[in-house]
Amino acid sequence: MSKRTRIINDPSELVPLLQVFGSKRHKKVFDELLNLWMTKDDLEEVLGTDVTSSISILKKSGLIESQWHMPEPGKTPEKEYRTSYSKVQTNFQCSFEDMSDIIMLTFMPYEEVQDIIEELENLVEQGNNSMSSLTRALNKSPLYIRAVARRSDKLSVMGQRLKMMDEE
- Which parts of the chain fold into alpha helices (H)? 14-21, 24-32, 40-47, 52-60, 96-107, 110-125, 131-138, 142-151
Tell me the one-letter amino acid at 101: D
As for how many domains the chain has, the answer is 2
Question: Can you give the pLDDT at residue 75?
Answer: 84
Provide the CATH number for the domain around residue 58: 1.10.10.10
Same domain, 30 and 67: yes
Question: Can you give the pLDDT at residue 108?
Answer: 92
**Which range of residues forms the domain containing residue 84?**
4-90
Same domain, 159 and 120: yes
Question: Can you give the pLDDT at residue 2?
Answer: 55
Same domain, 116 and 142: yes
- Strands 64-69 and 78-83, bridge-based pairing: antiparallel
Res. 1: pLDDT tops 70: no
Percentage of residues in the chain having pLDDT higher than 70: 98
Please tell me the total number of residues recorded for the chain in this structure.
Answer: 168
- Which of 37, 62, 90 terminates a domain? The answer is 90
- CA-CA distance, 103 to 111, in Å (whole number)? 16
pLDDT tens digit sequence for 49-88: 999 999 988 988 889 999 998 888 888 889 999 999 989 9
Same domain, 85 and 58: yes
- Which of 48, 71, 90 terminates a domain? The answer is 90
- CA-CA distance, 24 to 9, in Å (whole number)? 26
- Which of 73, 90, 107 terminates a domain? The answer is 90
pTM as predicted: 0.82
pLDDT tens digit sequence for 101-139: 999 999 999 999 999 999 999 999 999 989 999 999 999
Question: Can you give the pLDDT at residue 27?
Answer: 93
